[in-house]
């Protein structure tokens, strides 16, 4: 299976996927840590893909999304964004709206706490 096939299978068979450096329990870079931290704090069930474990996936995900950086968040097969976009969406409430629209469960109170702490 090619890297592109693996990526496509991963993003279409999981509701929420984070391609990141490291894992959700042990991120290996600050940007990956920030996005994983938001998802973990909000109680979102998601699959994590450690791009450091596979160079073909690491390069392939950038081509798949046409986005040059990692982490990359996918919801219901669609690319949402990287660290800056996810941070902005969390603070504006857009991430909550996306999760609600797509039927992804999350802790609304936790999301509100993130916004309060960053107000």
Instruction: Say what the pLDDT of residue 15 is.
Output: 98
pLDDT score of 1 more than 90:
no
Count of the separate structural domains present in the chain:
1
CATH code where residue 94 lies: 3.40.30.10
pLDDT at 119 over 90: no
**pLDDT > 70 in the chain, percent:** 100
pLDDT digits (tens, 9 = 90+) for 39-62: 999 999 999 999 999 999 999 999
The residue segments making up the domain with residue 101 are 3-117
The binding site for [2Fe-2S] cluster comprises 29
What's the pLDDT score for residue 19?
Answer: 98
| Exposure class string for 22-57: b at 16+ Cβ within 10 A, else e | bbbeebeeebbbbbbebbeebebebebbbbeeeeeb
Q: List, as residue ranges, the binding site.
A: 29
Residue 35: its pLDDT value, please?
Answer: 98
Average of pLDDT values for 74-78? Answer: 97
Q: How far apart (Å, rounded) are the C-alpha atoms in residues 24 and 20? A: 8
Task: From 87, 79, 101, 82, select the one nearest 42 (Cα to Cα).
Answer: 87
Per-residue confidence (pLDDT) for residue 114, from 0 to 100: 96
* pLDDT of the residue at 74: 98
Q: What is the pLDDT of residues 96-110, one digit of tens each?
A: 999 999 999 999 999
d(CA 22, CA 115): 26
Write the DSSP assignment of 5-35 as a string of letters: HHHHHHHHHSSEEEEESB-SSSBSSHHHHHH
Q: What mean pLDDT value characterizes the chain?
A: 97
């Amino acid at each position: 299976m090619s890297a592109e096939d693996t990526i496509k299978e991963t993003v279409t068979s999981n509701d929420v996927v984070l391609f990141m450096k490291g894992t959700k329990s042990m991120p290996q870079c600050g940007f990956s840590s920030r996005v994983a931290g938001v998802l973990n704090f909000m109680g979102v069930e998601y699959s994590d893909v450690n791009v450091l474990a596979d160079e073909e996936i690491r390069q392939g995900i950038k081509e798949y999304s046409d986005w040059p950086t990692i982490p990359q968040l996918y919801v219901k097969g669609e690319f949402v964004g990287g660290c800056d976009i996810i941070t902005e969406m969390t603070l504006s409430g857009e991430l909550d709206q996306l999760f609600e629209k797509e039927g992804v469960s999350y802790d609304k109170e936790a999301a509100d706490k993130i916004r309060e702490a960053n107000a």
